[in-house]
Chain A
Amino acid sequence: MPKVEIRSESCKSCGYCVKFCPKQVLAIGDKVNSKGYEYAAAVKPEACIGCKMCGVVCPDAAIEVYK
């Protein structure tokens, strides 16, 4: 099953991955990283289809995708 992995320390909470995920897998979470950003998290990991759109659009290379 495809899986997204978010490097929480690199995330800046811009929300592009949330906007462009076709299956609404991701959302901005309520946990905060050391820089003070509420980082993105997979809230519906089972819905991931491994399309990589989140990784492609992430400015900070914070997302890695497995399939």
Chain B
Amino acid sequence: MEKIYARTKGLRPDVVSGFCPGCMHSTVIKLIGEVLEEMNQMDNAVAVLGIGCCGLHMEYMSYDNVTAPHGRACAVATGIKRANSKSLVYTYQGDGDFASIGLGESVSAANRGENITVIFINNGIYGMTGGQMAPTTLLGMKASTAPKGRIAEEHGYPMHMCEILNQLTAPYYLERTSCNTPQNVLKTRKAIKKAFQNQLDGKGFSMVEIVTSCPTNWGLDTMKSLDYLNEKMLTEYPLGVIRDNG
């Protein structure tokens, strides 16, 4: 009997992830591990982790990683990539890290067309920090800093990072995917692989934005958070390739 689906070597064999039940952070890190294993890049990869839930990967992943100061993952990745251009360098950031605190670094790295890959997890809320409102929080969505829900007049509108970066000339590949169904998980895997391949081919800045759920901070159980993701998040953040210069 042949094993047709095995736990990737990108995850340490006996470690249980620190994420909440149903959290798709762990789905994404599993996919990254699978892709690196498939591309035979495990020894060559450097992950630059953002602050927040992303940091829980440190104990969980089996290859090199460094945690950047809050929001500065793209800047740290720039340094690593320029110092050692053969490494496969990717940043793994949530919406608070990439789109709020690190907005300057993120947009600047994209604008320079740095040859790095960004894996951007958009769940519309700060996770570990305490469920505060993020730039990507939907209108009407409750957060600990917006107990009545996000109101446009007070808090502005949700930010669409793929579309914002699409205004720049330099980025090479921008795609938005999700992990809400097995089909979309496989599409996400394909997008991550493509983004890594772009970097190995020296094409420049690639980003995969992955729309996920946060059952704990949304205050929903795993099944209801999946429904919320399907009905609300994916309406605001439609999936698809935003830019592919290849």
B3 is contacted by which of A16, A58, A65 (Cβ under 8 Å)? A65
Question: Could you say which residues of chain A place their CB within 8 Å of the CB of B27?
Answer: 57-59
C-alpha spacing A20/B181, complex, angstroms: 8
B 34-49 binary contact with A (CB < 8 Å = 1; else 0): 0000000000000000
Q: Which candidate, B4-12, B112-120, B123-131, is the interface stretch facing chain A?
A: B4-12
Question: Are B21 and A3 closer than 8 Å at their CB atoms?
Answer: no
C-alpha spacing A3/B30, complex, angstroms: 21
C-alpha spacing A56/B4, complex, angstroms: 11
Tell whether A56 pairs with B21 under 8 Å between CB atoms, given A10-B16, A61-B30, A64-B3: no
Of the candidates A52, A55, A61, the one having the most CB atoms from chain B within 10 angstroms of its own CB is: A61
Is B223 an interface residue when CB atoms closer than 8 A count as contact? yes
Question: Are A67 and B1 closer than 8 Å at their CB atoms?
Answer: yes
Q: How large is the interface on A (under 10, 10 to 19, 20 to 34, 35 or more residues)?
A: 20 to 34
C-alpha spacing A67/B26, complex, angstroms: 25
- Among residues of B, the one whose C-beta sits closest to the C-beta of A63 is B5
Is A50 an interface residue when CB atoms closer than 8 A count as contact? yes
- Among residues of A, the one whose C-beta sits closest to the C-beta of B16 is A10
Of the candidates A35, A56, A58, A64, the one having the most CB atoms from chain B within 10 angstroms of its own CB is: A56
- Among residues of A, the one whose C-beta sits closest to the C-beta of B3 is A66
A 1-42 binary contact with B (CB < 8 Å = 1; else 0): 001000101101111100110000000000000010100000
Is B17 an interface residue when CB atoms closer than 8 A count as contact? yes
Is A60 an interface residue when CB atoms closer than 8 A count as contact? yes
C-alpha spacing A55/B189, complex, angstroms: 14
- Among residues of B, the one whose C-beta sits closest to the C-beta of A15 is B222
Tell whether A20 pairs with B182 under 8 Å between CB atoms, given A59-B22, A61-B26: yes
Question: Are A57 and B182 closer than 8 Å at their CB atoms?
Answer: yes
C-alpha spacing A65/B4, complex, angstroms: 6
Question: Could you say which residues of chain A place their CB within 8 Å of the CB of B4?
Answer: 50, 52, 65-67
Residues of B within 8 A of A (CB): 1-8, 11, 16-17, 19-27, 30, 179, 181-182, 185-186, 222-223, 226
Given contacts A13-B21, A60-B19, A64-B3, 16 further A-B contacts (CB under 8 A): A3-B1, A10-B17, A12-B20, A12-B21, A14-B21, A15-B223, A16-B22, A16-B222, A20-B181, A35-B16, A52-B4, A53-B182, A60-B26, A61-B7, A64-B6, A65-B4
Residues of A within 8 A of B (CB): 3, 7, 9-10, 12-16, 19-20, 35, 37, 50, 52-53, 55-61, 63-67
- Some 7 contacts from A to B, beta carbons below 8 A apart, are A19-B223, A50-B4, A56-B186, A57-B182, A59-B19, A59-B25, A61-B11
